[in-house]
């Protein structure tokens, strides 16, 4: 599983990255978590507001930081 955090490195982007890492560790799954910070790369996913959460190349949320439980639900859908 590849999980991407889309954003330029703002506070919310970092929060989403940290929450996602926590969830992955709690679930005990193998996942590569990448930060996507280049504007043109972020736009290629069709989102206009960051942060964005992408799981296996599918945008699951953008423009807000989901709760830890929401992130867990998103990840479990793709397992």
Active-site amino acid positions: 10, 13
Whether residue 51 has a cis bond before it, omega within 30° of 0: yes
Rounded Cα gap, residues 36 and 5, in angstroms: 6
Rounded Cα gap, residues 25 and 10, in angstroms: 23
């Amino acid at each position: 599983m590849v999980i991407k955090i889309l954003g330029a490195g703002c506070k919310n982007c970092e929060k989403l990255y940290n929450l996602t890492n926590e969830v992955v560790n709690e679930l005990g799954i193998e996942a590569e978590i990448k930060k996507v910070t280049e504007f043109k790369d972020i736009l290629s996913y069709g989102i206009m507001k960051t942060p964005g959460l992408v799981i296996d190349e599918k945008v699951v949320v953008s423009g807000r930081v989901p709760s830890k439980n929401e992130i867990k639900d998103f990840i479990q859908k793709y397992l």
